[in-house]
Amino acid sequence: MSSSPEITCLSALTLATQDLDRAVRFYTTLGFPLVKHDQGFATFRVGAQYLNITAERSDYKPHWWGRGIFYVADVDAMHAHIIKSGIVPEFQPRDAPWGERYFHVKDPDGHELSFAHPL
């Protein structure tokens, strides 16, 4: 039986949008540091990794579901920041049985973002 090579890190997560400028405003409001924004593509830093946003045709309708999970130092402070910024989270921070405090928010394109911290 051969062993698979070890996967050691996620370099980047790429999400699609129909309005790149709107997505850039949303993610910078959340506090993601913008690294690059040019025609059709934006990159944000997430610790040592990246969140990429790519522009799709305006008539493109995504047909998948996914969730990006981002660890933050203080879940409740992030929740308060998001509310103060005018963004409505899906629910209040809660402690999960799997050992994280977390909450979710959807971006303007419907991508689900979870902000969490281990308990």
Residue by residue, DSSP assigns 63-112 as: ----EEEEE-S-HHHHHHHHHHTT---SS--EE-TTSEEEEEEE-TT--E
Residue pLDDT, tens place only, 41-99: 999 999 999 999 999 877 777 666 788 999 999 999 999 999 999 999 999 999 999 99
N-term to C-term CA, the chain: 37
Task: State the residue range of the domain holding 109.
Answer: 66-119
Structural domain tally of the chain? 2
Residues 81 and 52 in one domain: no
Residue 109 placed within a domain = yes
Instruction: Determine the pLDDT at residue 61.
Output: 72
Joined tokens for residue 117 = 């911290």
- Helix residue spans in 4-74 (DSSP H): 20-30
Residues 33 and 17 in one domain: yes
**Predicted TM-score (pTM) of this structure:** 0.86
CATH number, residue 109: 3.10.180.10
Integer Cα distance of 41 and 33 in angstroms: 15
Residue 15 placed within a domain = yes
Residues 46 and 74 in one domain: no
Residue 30 placed within a domain = yes
**Per-residue DSSP letter, 56:** -
Half-sphere exposure of 64 (CA within 13 A, CB side): 6
